[in-house]
C-alpha cells in the first residue's frame, strides 16, 4: 500500500489489487460519514469502439441505462439493502464514466462487501429492463422542457460532428428503445472489468482493514477474463457553422453562449491533466472574479448575475463555454468577440497569475473540510491517473509562459456562438 | 466538537464554537431585524450591496486580488429568516493559518475585512450611491427573468404564490418581486443605518483557534459603529385549519411533462416535540427511494422519474413535487393523497419505519461533519430558544420516535394547494 501525504495531517493510501482494481482510501477518523465511489471507465461518449480487432457500435444511452439496472442486478434490491442501514446509494453517468456511490455512518464493511458483490456478474431480467426503460423515458423528457439544455445540445452539434460527442449521455427516447439485454450484457462484460475501474473511499475507515476486506472479496478473487484493448473511435470532422441565432417561445430575455473548442490535435497530444490546469488558469486569468475583463464588463454594464464560464475537458474533446442572459445582444457580441480574440493576441495578466497561486493553496486546504468535496477531488484525480499531492504541485508549478501555447487557440476557427431570442408574435 | 463558549465583548454577544476537526476558520456576524416582512427587499439587497461595494476596494479586481493574497478568503452574505425575523449574515471563512508556513496574521486581517464590509460601503452625500441602488433593482429583475426561463423553478414559484395567498405576511421571498417599487434609495440607506445600530448583533466564530488571541482581535478591531439592541426574536405562527377546501390551480405552459406541486400544512411547530416525528413521517411519505410515494408512483406504476416529498419545518409545510405525463396528472394526484391516507391509517411496515428513522439519524449525525451546518444550527437555536444547540439531545429525541408518533404527525396534515402546470400556451403570471 502506498501512503501519500496530501496535507500535513491528511494521508491517502493507494493500492492496486490482484484483480487490477485501483483503490484509494482517505481515512478521516473525526468524521461520522464515509463516502464510497466505484468509477467505471465507460461513459456516454463510448458508442463506436474497437475491442481488440473487432469494431463495435452501440446506441447512445447504454452506459446510463446500465447504471439504472445495476441497482437491481441479480434480482438483488440494492437500494433496499442500503436503506436498511440508513445508508444512501446513488449513481450517475457522465461523458467519460459511470459512477456508483454510497454514503453511510455505520456498517461500512458489510455495505462495501454487498456493494462490490453487485459488480461481479451481470444478471438483469427483461422485466427490469422494461421497467427502467419507461423511467428513463420520463427522465429524458425532463430535459426537453429546458431551453438551456436545448441551447447546449445545439451548440455541441455545431462544434462536434460525431454523434458520440454531441449526443446526450442518456441518448434519445429512440436510442433507448434500441437497447436490449444482449447489448447491456456485452458492455458489462467489456467495460466492467476491475482493470477499468477505480474504488475511492473517504471517511471514517481504517485503510488496512478495508484493503484486507477487498483483497479477500469474491470480486477480487474471481478469475476475470483478460481485459481487452479498447479504442474509442471518434470522428473529428470540423463543422462549418460557427454562429447561430434561434427563436424559441420560452425565452424571457435573450440567451447567449460563446464557446471555444480545444482543437483535436491538442486533445490528442497534450496530457489531459495539464490541459485542464493550463486552460483553467487561462479562464481564471481572463474571466475570473479578479480579472480585468470581469471589471470591464461590469463597468460597461455587460455583466450580470446570469454570467458564468464552464470549462469541460473530457477524454476525447474539450471546450470552454461562456454564458449570459441579456437584452444587450449586439453590444455583448461585439465586446465578447474582442475579448476572446485578445486572449491570443495580447499577453495575459502576469501579476494576477502569481497572486492567484495563494488562492489555489487556500482552496486546496479548504477542500479537506468537506467530505464530499475532498472525495470528488480524489475521484477526479484518480480518473486522470494523478496523485492528490502531485495535483496541487502541478498547478503551483505551472509557469506563466506555459499558457502561451494554449491561449493561441482563441482564434475564429475555434470560436462558436449561439443566441436564443424570443419568437416575435404577430 | 466542543461546547460553545458565550461571552460579551464590547456589547456584542460572541460565541466560540471550537473544533480540531476542520481546517478553516469562520467568522459570522448575525444582524437580527425587527420581526415581519417590512423592508424585506432592502434587507435582501443590503447583503450583496455591502459585500460588493466596499469603499476600500472599489473594483472586483482590487477586492478579489486582496482576498487572493489572504489565501482565497471567502467573504459572503445572506438574508434569511429565523422565526418571524429576517436576519442578515456577513461571513468570512479562510484556511486556518496553522496549515500555512510563516502565516500568523490571517485571522486578524480576516476580521478587519469583515468589519470593513459592514461599516465602510461606498457612500455619497450620506447615502448609499444611486448606482448601487439601481444595480440592485436591475439584478432583482434579472434574477426573476432567469427564474422564469426555468420551468421547474417557475412552476414552484407559482405554486408558492398560491400556497401563501391566504397566509398574509407569512411568505418571505428574497427578493419580493411584487414589492420592488417600494424600494427607494432613501429606504435602502435608512435600513443600512438601522443595521448598524438598531439590530440585535452577535458574532459566531468556529474552527481551531486560541481564544485569548481572538478575544484580543475582537477587542481591538470590532468597529464602534456596530451596536447591538435587544430585538426580540418571534416565532412565525401559521394559521392552520383542520378542515378546509384545498386551492386548486391549473396553468398552461409550453411543457412536455406536467409539473405538479401538492402542498400540505401542519400545526406542528418548528423545534416542537413533534418536529422529529414529522421529519420521520416525511421520509416514509416521499423522502427517499424506499418511500411510499417513490415505490408506488415511480417503481410500481412507472408514472414518473421524479417524485419526492420535502418537509420545510420552519414553514410548517410538506410539499410533494412530481413530473408526469399529461394523461396521468389526476392518477398521480390521487396516488399522493392515498399515500398519505395509508400512513394516517398506520399502513406502513416496521422495516420502512426503521429505515426512515435511520435516515433521520444519519442526517443528524451528518451535522457534525459540516462546519457551516453545525454553525447555522447554533445560530438558530440561540436566537429562537436562547440556548445552545444540543445535537445529542436531538439524536435521543429521534431515537425515541414511535410509529404512533408518525401516525399522529401524518394526521396533522391538511391539504392546502394543488398546483398543476400542464400543456398549452404560456403560463400566467
What is the Cα–Cα distance from A175 to B222, expressed in whole angstroms?
A: 63
Q: Within a domain: residue B10?
A: yes
| Torsion A320-A326-A332-A333 (CA) sign | positive
Chain A residues in contact with B18 by the CB 8 A cut-off are none
Please tell me whether residues B151 and B33 are part of one structural domain: yes
Q: Tally the C-alpha atoms within 13 A of residue A266's C-alpha that lie toward its C-beta.
A: 20
Q: Within a domain: residue B334?
A: yes
Please tell me whether residues B217 and B334 are part of one structural domain: no
Q: Tens digits of per-residue pLDDT, B303-321?
A: 998 899 999 999 999 999 9
Please tell me whether residues B91 and B203 are part of one structural domain: yes
What is the Cα–Cα distance from B165 to B316, expressed in whole angstroms?
A: 15
Q: Tens digits of per-residue pLDDT, B65-115?
A: 999 999 999 999 999 999 999 999 999 999 999 999 899 999 999 999 999
ipTM computed for the complex: 0.91
Pairwise CB contact (< 8 Å): A136 & B305: yes
**Cα–Cα distances in Å, from A180 out to A41, A59, A124?**
21, 10, 11
The C-alpha cell that represents A94 in the structure block:
457522465
What is the Cα–Cα distance from B129 to B183, expressed in whole angstroms?
A: 14
Query: Checking DSSP bridges between strand B414-423 and strand B247-253, what pairing results, if any?
Result: parallel
Are A39 and A89 in contact, with CB atoms under 8 Å apart?
no
Please tell me whether residues B69 and B139 are part of one structural domain: yes
Number of domains, chain B: 2
Q: How far is CA A108 from the centre of its chain?
A: 26
Q: Within a domain: residue B237?
A: no
Nearest CB to B60; choose among A144, A298, A358: A298
Q: What is the pLDDT of residue A423?
A: 86
Alpha-helical segments (H) within B164-274:
185-197, 211-221
Please tell me whether residues B343 and B203 are part of one structural domain: no
Nearest CA-CA distance, residue A77 and chain B, Å: 11
Q: Residue A219: what are its φ and ψ, rounded to 5°?
A: -60, -40
Q: What is the pLDDT of residue B429?
A: 39
Q: Within a domain: residue B429?
A: no
A276-285, B101-110, B143-152, B157-166: least confident range:
B143-152
Residues 6 or more apart whose CB falls under 8 angstroms from that of A344 comprise A407, A408, A409, A410, A411
**Cα–Cα distances in Å, from B335 out to B7, B113, B285, B294, B342?**
53, 54, 11, 11, 10
Of B39 and A240, which is predicted with more confidence? Answer: B39
Q: Tally the C-alpha atoms within 13 A of residue A399's C-alpha that lie toward its C-beta.
A: 4
Q: Within a domain: residue B395?
A: yes
Helices A350-367 + A371-383 axis angle, to 10: 110
Cα angle value B105/B109/B111 (rounded, 5°): 120
Q: Residue B231: what are its φ and ψ, rounded to 5°?
A: -80, 125
pLDDT tens, residue order, chain A (426 aa):
999 999 999 999 999 999 999 999 999 999 999 999 999 999 999 999 999 999 999 999 999 999 999 999 999 999 999 998 889 999 999 999 999 999 999 999 999 999 999 999 999 999 999 999 999 999 998 888 899 999 999 999 999 999 999 999 999 999 999 999 999 999 999 999 999 999 999 999 999 999 999 999 999 999 999 999 999 888 877 778 999 999 988 888 999 999 999 999 999 999 988 999 999 999 999 999 889 999 999 999 999 999 999 999 998 899 999 999 999 999 999 999 999 999 999 999 999 999 999 999 999 999 999 999 999 999 999 998 888 888 888 999 999 999 999 999 999 999 999 999 998 765
What is the Cα–Cα distance from B5 to B28, expressed in whole angstroms?
A: 15
Please tell me whether residues B267 and B349 are part of one structural domain: yes
Domains of chain A and any CATH numbers: 2-232 (3.30.830.10), 243-422 (3.30.830.10)
Please tell me whether residues B147 and B99 are part of one structural domain: yes
Q: Within a domain: residue B170?
A: yes
Nearest CB to B289; choose among A79, A356, A370: A79
Q: Tally the C-alpha atoms within 13 A of residue B67's C-alpha that lie toward its C-beta.
A: 26
Please tell me whether residues B281 and B133 are part of one structural domain: no
CATH no. for residue B419?
3.30.830.10
Range of the domain at B77: 5-221
Chain B residues in contact with A88 by the CB 8 A cut-off are 288, 359, 362
What is the pLDDT of chain B when averaged over all its residues?
A: 94
Q: What is the pLDDT of residue B1?
A: 67
Please tell me whether residues B276 and B321 are part of one structural domain: yes
Q: Hey, is B354 helix, strand or coil?
A: helix
Pairwise CB contact (< 8 Å): B23 & A141: no
* SS3 per-residue string spanning chain A: CEEEEEECCEEEEEEECCCCCEEEEEECCCCCCEEEEEEECCCCCCCEEEECCEEEECCCCHHHHHHHHHHHHHHCCHHHHHHHCCCEEEEEECCCCEEEEEEECCCHHHHHHHHHHCCCCCCCCHHHHHHHHHHHHHHHHHHHCCHHHHHHHHHHHHHCCCHHHHCCCCCCHHHHHHCCHHHHHHHHHHHCCHHHEEEEEEECCCHHHHHHHHHHCHHHHCCCCCCCCEEECCCCCCCCCCEEEEEECCCCCCEEEEEEECCHHHHHHCCHHHHHHHHHHHHHHHHCCCCHHHHHHHHCCCCCCCCEEEEEECCCCEEEEEEEECCCHHHHHHHHHHHHHHHHHCCCCHHHHHHHHHHHHHHHHHHCCCHHHHHHHHHHHHHCCCCHHHHHHHHHHCCHHHHHHHHCCCCHHHEEEEEEEECCCC
Please tell me whether residues B48 and B177 are part of one structural domain: yes
Please tell me whether residues B81 and B206 are part of one structural domain: yes
Q: Hey, is B231 helix, strand or coil?
A: coil
Q: How far is CA A10 from the centre of its chain?
A: 25
Last residue of a domain, one of B203, B221, B239: B221
Q: Tens digits of per-residue pLDDT, B255-290?
A: 999 999 999 999 999 989 999 999 999 999 999 999
Pairwise CB contact (< 8 Å): B60 & A295: yes
Q: Which of A66, A169, A90 is nearest to A375 (CA)?
A: A90
Chain A residues in contact with B25 by the CB 8 A cut-off are none
Query: Checking DSSP bridges between strand A88-93 and strand A98-104, what pairing results, if any?
Result: antiparallel
Across the range B120-126, mean pLDDT stands at: 96
Q: At which residue does the C-alpha cell 485571522 appear?
A: B107
Question: How many angstroms separate the first and last alpha carbons of chain A?
Answer: 71
Residues 6 or more apart whose CB falls under 8 angstroms from that of B39 comprise B33, B187, B191
What is the Cα–Cα distance from A199 to A115, expressed in whole angstroms?
A: 11
Are B421 and B253 in contact, with CB atoms under 8 Å apart?
yes
Q: Within a domain: residue B161?
A: yes
Nearest CA-CA distance, residue B10 and chain A, Å: 31
List the single best residue of A71, A83, A139 to mutate versus B (max B Cβ within 10 A).
Answer: A83
Q: What is the pLDDT of residue B428?
A: 46
Minimum CA–CA partner of B295 in chain A: A80
Q: At which residue does the C-alpha cell 426503521 appear?
A: B354
Please tell me whether residues B19 and B83 are part of one structural domain: yes
What is the Cα–Cα distance from A395 to A31, expressed in whole angstroms?
A: 28
Last residue of a domain, one of B174, B205, B221: B221
What is the Cα–Cα distance from B281 to B410, expressed in whole angstroms?
A: 7
Across the range B340-356, mean pLDDT stands at: 97
| B427 pLDDT more than 70 | no
Residues 137-156 of chain A with CB under 8 A from chain B are 138-139, 141-142, 144-148
Last residue of a domain, one of B187, B221, B255: B221
Alpha-helical segments (H) within B6-105:
40-52, 60-69
Helices B130-148 + B40-52 axis angle, to 10: 110
Q: Is the minimum CB–CB distance between A110 and chain B shorter than 8 Å?
A: no
What is the Cα–Cα distance from A249 to A216, expressed in whole angstroms?
A: 59
The count of other CB atoms within 10 Å of the CB of residue B126 is 7
Q: Within a domain: residue B392?
A: yes
Are B306 and B322 in contact, with CB atoms under 8 Å apart?
yes
Q: Is the minimum CB–CB distance between A5 and chain B shorter than 8 Å?
A: no
Amino acid at each position: 500500500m502506498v501512503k501519500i501525504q496530501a496535507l500535513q495531517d491528511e494521508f491517502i493510501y493507494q493500492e492496486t489489487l490482484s484483480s487490477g482494481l485501483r483503490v484509494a482510501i482517505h481515512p478521516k477518523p473525526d468524521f461520522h460519514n464515509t463516502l464510497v465511489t466505484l468509477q467505471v471507465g465507460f461513459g456516454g461518449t463510448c458508442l463506436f469502439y474497437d475491442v481488440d480487432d473487432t469494431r463495435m457500435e452501440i446506441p447512445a444511452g447504454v452506459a446510463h441505462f446500465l447504471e439504472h439496472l445495476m441497482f437491481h442486478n441479480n434480482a438483488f434490491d440494492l437500494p433496499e439493502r442500503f436503506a436498511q442501514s440508513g445508508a444512501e446509494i446513488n449513481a450517475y453517468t457522465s461523458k467519460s464514466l459511470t459512477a456508483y456511490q454510497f454514503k453511510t455512518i455505520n456498517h461500512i464493511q458489510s455495505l462495501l462487501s454487498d456493494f462490490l458483490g453487485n459488480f461481479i456478474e451481470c444478471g438483469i431480467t427483461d422485466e427490469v429492463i422494461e421497467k427502467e426503460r419507461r423511467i428513463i423515458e420520463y427522465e429524458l423528457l425532463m430535459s426537453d422542457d429546458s431551453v438551456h439544455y436545448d441551447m447546449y445540445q445545439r451548440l455541441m452539434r455545431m462544434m462536434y460532428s460525431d454523434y458520440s460527442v454531441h449526443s446526450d449521455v442518456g441518448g434519445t427516447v429512440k436510442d433507448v428503445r434500441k437497447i436490449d439485454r444482449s447489448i447491456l450484457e456485452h458492455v458489462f462484460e467489456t467495460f466492467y472489468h476491475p482493470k477499468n475501474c477505480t474504488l475511492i473511499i473517504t471517511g471514517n475507515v481504517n485503510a488496512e482493514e478495508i484493503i484486507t476486506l477487498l483483497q479477500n472479496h469474491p470480486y477480487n478473487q474471481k478469475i476475470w477474463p483478460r481485459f481487452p484493448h479498447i479504442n474509442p473511435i471518434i470522428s473529428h470532422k470540423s463543422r462549418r457553422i460557427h454562429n447561430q441565432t434561434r427563436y424559441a417561445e420560452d425565452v424571457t430575455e435573450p440567451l447567449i453562449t460563446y464557446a471555444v473548442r480545444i482543437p483535436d490535435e491538442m486533445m490528442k497530444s497534450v496530457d489531459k491533466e495539464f490541459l485542464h490546469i493550463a486552460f483553467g488558469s487561462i479562464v481564471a486569468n481572463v474571466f475570473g472574479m479578479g480579472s480585468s475583463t470581469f471589471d470591464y464588463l461590469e463597468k460597461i454594464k455587460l455583466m450580470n448575475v446570469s454570467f458564468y464560464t464552464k470549462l469541460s475537458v473530457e477524454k476525447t474533446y474539450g471546450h470552454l463555454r461562456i454564458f449570459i442572459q441579456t437584452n444587450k445582444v449586439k453590444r455583448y457580441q461585439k465586446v465578447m468577440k474582442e475579448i476572446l480574440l485578445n486572449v491570443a493576441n495580447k499577453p495575459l495578466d502576469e501579476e494576477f497569475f502569481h497572486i492567484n497561486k495563494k488562492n489555489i493553496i487556500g482552496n486546496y486546504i479548504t477542500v479537506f473540510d468537506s467530505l464530499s468535496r475532498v472525495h470528488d477531488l480524489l475521484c477526479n484525480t484518480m480518473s486522470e491517473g494523478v496523485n492528490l499531492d502531485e495535483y496541487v504541485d502541478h498547478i503551483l508549478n505551472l509557469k506563466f509562459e506555459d499558457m502561451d501555447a494554449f491561449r493561441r487557440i482563441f482564434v475564429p476557427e475555434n470560436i462558436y456562438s449561439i443566441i436564443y431570442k424570443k419568437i416575435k408574435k404577430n | 466538537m466542543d461546547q460553545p463558549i458565550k461571552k460579551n465583548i464590547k456589547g456584542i454577544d460572541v460565541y466560540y464554537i471550537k473544533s480540531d476537526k476542520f481546517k478553516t476558520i469562520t467568522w459570522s456576524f448575525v444582524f437580527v431585524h425587527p420581526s415581519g416582512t417590512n423592508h424585506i427587499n432592502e434587507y435582501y439587497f443590503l447583503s450583496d450591496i455591502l459585500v460588493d461595494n466596499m469603499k476600500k476596494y472599489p473594483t472586483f479586481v482590487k477586492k478579489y486580488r486582496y482576498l487572493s493574497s489572504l489565501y482565497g478568503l471567502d467573504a459572503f452574505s445572506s438574508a434569511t429568516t429565523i422565526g418571524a425575523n429576517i436576519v442578515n449574515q456577513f461571513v468570512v471563512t479562510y484556511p486556518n493559518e496553522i496549515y500555512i508556513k510563516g502565516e500568523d496574521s490571517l485571522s486578524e486581517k480576516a476580521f478587519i475585512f469583515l468589519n470593513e464590509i459592514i461599516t465602510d460601503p461606498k457612500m455619497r452625500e450620506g447615502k448609499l450611491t444611486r448606482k448601487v441602488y439601481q444595480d440592485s433593482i436591475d439584478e432583482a429583475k434579472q434574477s426573476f427573468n432567469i427564474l422564469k426561463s426555468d420551468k421547474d423553478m417557475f412552476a414552484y414559484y407559482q405554486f408558492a404564490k398560491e400556497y401563501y395567498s391566504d397566509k398574509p405576511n407569512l411568505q418571505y421571498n428574497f427578493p419580493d418581486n411584487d414589492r420592488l417599487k417600494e424600494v427607494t434609495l432613501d429606504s435602502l440607506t435608512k435600513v443600512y443605518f438601522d443595521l448598524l445600530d438598531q439590530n440585535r448583533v452577535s458574532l459566531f466564530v468556529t474552527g481551531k483557534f486560541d481564544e485569548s488571541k481572538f478575544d484580543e482581535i475582537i477587542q481591538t478591531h470590532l468597529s464602534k459603529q456596530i451596536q447591538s439592541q435587544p430585538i426580540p426574536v418571534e416565532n412565525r405562527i401559521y394559521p392552520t385549519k383542520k378542515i378546509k377546501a384545498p386551492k386548486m390551480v391549473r396553468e398552461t405552459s409550453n411543457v412536455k411533462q406536467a409539473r405538479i406541486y401538492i402542498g400540505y400544512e401542519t400545526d406542528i411547530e418548528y423545534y416542537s416535540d413533534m418536529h422529529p416525528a414529522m421529519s420521520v413521517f416525511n421520509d416514509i411519505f416521499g423522502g427517499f427511494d424506499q418511500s411510499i410515494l417513490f415505490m408506488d408512483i415511480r417503481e410500481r406504476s412507472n408514472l414518473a422519474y421524479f417524485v419526492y416529498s420535502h418537509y420545510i419545518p420552519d414553514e410548517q409545510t410538506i410539499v410533494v413535487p412530481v413530473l408526469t405525463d399529461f394523461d396521468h396528472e389526476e392518477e398521480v394526484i390521487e396516488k399522493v393523497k392515498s399515500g398519505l391516507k395509508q400512513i394516517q391509517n398506520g399502513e406502513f411496515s416496521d422495516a420502512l419505519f426503521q429505515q426512515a428513522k435511520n435516515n433521520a439519524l444519519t442526517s443528524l449525525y451528518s451535522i457534525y461533519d459540516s462546519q457551516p451546518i453545525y454553525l447555522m444550527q447554533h445560530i438558530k437555536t440561540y436566537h429562537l430558544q436562547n440556548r445552545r444547540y444540543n445535537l445529542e439531545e436531538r439524536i435521543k429525541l429521534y431515537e425515541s420516535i414511535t410509529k404512533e408518533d408518525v401516525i399522529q404527525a401524518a394526521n396533522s396534515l391538511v391539504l392546502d394547494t394543488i398546483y398543476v402546470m400542464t400543456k398549452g400556451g404560456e403560463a400566467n403570471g
